[in-house]
Amino acid sequence: MNHPGRVTLVGAGPGDPDLLTVRAVRRLAEADLVLYDALSSPEARTLAPEARWFFVGKRAGSHSMAQDTINRLMIREALRGRHVVRLKSGDPFVLGRGGEEALALVAAGIAFEVVPGVSSAIAAPGLAGIPVTHRGLSTGFVVVSGHAESAYAALLDGLAPKSATVVVLMGVGARRAIVDRLLARGWAANTPSALLAGTATPGAWQWTGPLHQLPDVAFPEPAAPSAGYGIMPRSPGILIIGDVVQLAHALQQPTVATASAL
């Protein structure tokens, strides 16, 4: 083929289409086919009105397309000369199997580009008024997946209390086991913690409180389907644990200083 296709792995950010990068918007406008995830914004479709959109997302507890099938679909369409955008929530390389997809494209000889996205691991806490690092409170943070004990056990077991902010993606279902693990490791029961869902969408919701209460927090009822986003019944959610959470109420709605106040 004289003009082979290509694949662009695009990070869609935490949900708000305004948080897509300029390059991501450009690549969507150029796309022939968009393979999108479950958490991608519906408004993103307006950025690629001529493209065909095909859902390949994964949700916990739901039927989803196998990763090998997604890889074959990308490769097949690129070999047909199409520009395929693989639109992935957050950043392609942060717990999103973007590396697996890139390796599959390399093995198939398909030209590809990676467009980084704003990871929910940083964006969700920030939008909720929680800086993952803050002088005097935390000088670092760790990000782990909560989907399985093997994904977080070793790191949490080796993490001294107050040594870093803990951010857990996809950790709602495992929060009791995670909290029990931290308490057994010596973390104080009153350590500030937060549970976030639907961040950067109109259905954003959050809870903050002491660590020992985190396992018993109840999610609100999911928003009506007509709302577009809303909190999904199986929303992956994000856990944040550490002293930085105490800043949430002060920073959630910051005021803009006027010239006269400076």
Tell me which residues are annotated as active site. 37, 58, 170
Residue 139 exposure: Cα atoms within 13 Å on the Cβ side: 2
- Pairing type for strands 6-11 and 238-241 reads unpaired
First vs last C-alpha separation in the chain: 61
Tokens representing 141 are: 């943070």
| CB-based contacts of 241, cutoff 8 Å, min separation 6 | 165, 166, 168, 182, 187, 191, 192, 193, 194, 211, 214
Q: Are 40 and 117 in contact (CB under 8 A)?
A: no
Ordered alpha helix ranges (H), the chain: 22-30, 67-79, 98-108, 120-127, 149-157, 175-184, 248-251
Tally of helices (H runs) and strands (E runs) in the chain: 7, 10
- The Cα 51–Cα 165 span in angstroms is 41
